[in-house]
Structure 1
Amino acid sequence: MAEKDQQVYPLPVSTNTQAKHDEDEEAGTVLSKEAGTVPSKELRKKRMKCLAYVVAFAVFQIGIILVFALTVMKIKTPKFRVRSATFESFNVVTTTSAPSFDMKMNAELGVKNTNFGHYKFDNSTIYFFYKGTQVGSAFVSKARARARSTKKFNVVVDLTTTNLPSNSGLGDDFNSGVLQLTSQSELKGKVELMKVMKKKKSTEMSCTLTISLADKAIRDLNCR
């Protein structure tokens, strides 16, 4: 009976062993927290960096589109000009009673196309005037001015005073030694970009030619 009533008591745990166990649990908790926190910060940094790259790329793309739209896609009006002129024949009658002239002029014309596409223009006519009265004309054949280039061609013009009125004041100009003519014309055509986009464009010529009677040559040529 004494053996049955005997109780068994657990061995006491030393204070040092319990403290060490608590420290191990606390360290494990700290490590587990750090292990979960560090990857989260790195992930946020990577996401922010990726977002910055996406925004920078979008801004770059928008810039490229704007530059393309303002340069390549912007269609400008070509310029039509008299570039130079020489005379094959030069006959001038300076008598005060019936002053007149009869000239054959070889004029070089130019169509300056600053667009990034071809400019195709139709047939046209260039007219020459003396004080508002037509004294000559020439036919301009249809052609094409290449992208960002100047199409040059020549026309021969017969200039004569047949239609001039008697009070035109031609004698006064002869006395001054210079003769001033003006030229006018209009070209109608289309600018073609990348064989896809086509836009109608018309260009007008307005030039003033000052002829030296003594030199039988163009002294001044001004176009606008």
Structure 2
Amino acid sequence: MAEKTNQQVYPLAPSNGNPRSDEESNTLQSKELKRKKRIKLAIYIAAFAVFQTIVILVFALTVMRVRTPKVSLGTDVTFSKLNSTGNETSSPSFNITFIAQVRVKNTNFGPYKYEETTAIFKYRDVKVGQVTIPKGKAGLRSTKKVSVTVDVNLNALQTTSSNLGNDLKKEVLTLNGQAKFTGKVELMFVMKKKKATEMNCRMIINLTSKILKDLICE
């Protein structure tokens, strides 16, 4: 019993021998977390800036790019009158009336408003007819179709009779249709840019069957 009484009692060691060291460690961890957050934020901002740049470039190259509208004649041509007389020896002539579609194709992201113009039809560089095309508008990324009635005629007094006579003998007649359009493309309701375009089509008419054999537009 005496031995137990004389035993020395030692105090327990503190659970944390260096409180300051733990505080410094926590501070370093907090700073590291903040640094990583700043890096992530910078990465997100840079990625967003790159994305915005790509969007702006795509927008500028597609939506805001102004393209020249294309004008052509449609293939659905109908002849209400088709008369031709003569050959290479007699007095050759022709008198034709047909209905055609003038097509204004607008591929822009905004309407194309064009002014009134005149389409001229020629046979071997000789003017044989014309038609007025009223002013109009081709909507964004659409095609405006305008029906026109054209009267063309030619006799031997206006051209070399042998050329016309030979063509009539072959029962094939070639006409060239030309027109120049001027107008403006409107983008985003604020930007307007002038655009001119031309129609240049070659019509090959079969005089026997009275149909359009071929149509080539440049």
Task: Tell me which residue corresponds to 1:187.
Answer: 181
Q: Counterparts of 1:24 and 1:144 in 2: how far apart (Å)?
A: 85
Shift of residue 29, structure 1, vs aligned partner: 3.4
- Verify: 1:80 aligned to 2:71, yes or no: yes
Does the 8 Å contact 2:82/2:207 carry over to 1?
A: no
Structure 1 residue identity aligned to 2:40: K
After superposition, where does 1:52-201 map in structure 2 within 5 Å? 52-84=43-75, 85-95=77-87, 96-162=89-155, 164-167=158-161, 169-201=163-195
Contact 2:173/2:204 (CA < 8 Å) preserved in 1? Answer: yes
C-alpha spacing 1:77/1:212, structure 2 compared with 1 (3 Å): same
- 2: CA distance, partners of 1:209 / 1:55: 58
In the TM superposition, structure 1's runs of 4+ consecutive aligned residues that sit over 3 Å from their partners are none
What is the rounded CA distance, in whole Å, between the counterparts of 1:94 and 1:71 in structure 2? Answer: 55
What is the percentage of aligned positions where both structures have the same residue? 42
Letter in 2 for 1:180: T
Distance 1:93 1:168 in 2: 13
How many residues align structurally? 207
Partner of 2:3: none
Following superposition, the deviation at residue 174 of structure 1 comes to: 1.8
Contact preservation (8 Å) 2:92, 2:161:
no
CA RMSD of aligned residues (A): 1.9
Partners in 1 of 2:140 and 2:154 — Cα distance? 40
Instruction: Tell me the equivalent position of 1:32.
Output: 23
Which ranges of structure 2 fall in alignment gaps of 5 or more residues? 1-7
Q: SS in structure 1 opposite 2:165?
A: helix
Residue range with higher mean Cα deviation, 181-190 or 155-164: 155-164
For residues 22-62 of structure 1, what are the alpha-carbon distances to aligned partners after superposition, in whole Å with 9 as ceiling and x for unaligned?
A: x954x323312211111011111111111111111111111
State which structure, 1 or 2, has the greater radius of gyration over its C-alpha atoms. Answer: 1
CA change 1:150–1:40 in 2 (3 A) is: same
Structure 2: distance between partners of 1:28 and 1:129:
102
> Structure 1-normalised TM-score?
0.87
- Indicate if the aligned counterparts of 2:72 and 2:200 stay in contact, CA closer than 8 A: yes
TM superposition score normalised by structure 2? 0.89
* In 2, Cα distance between equivalents of 1:35 and 1:79: 71
Per-residue deviation at 1:164?
A: 2.6
- Residue 168 of structure 1 deviates from its aligned partner by 5.6
- Which deviations, in whole Å up to 9, do the C-alpha atoms of 1:70-109 show, x marking residues without a partner? 1110010111111132111110103331111001111111
Query: Matched residues in 2 for 1:165 and 1:173: separation?
Result: 12
1:4 counterpart residue number:
none
Ranges in structure 1 where 5+ consecutive residues have no aligned partner: 1-13
The separation in 2 between residues aligned to 1:197 and 1:24, in whole angstroms, is 73
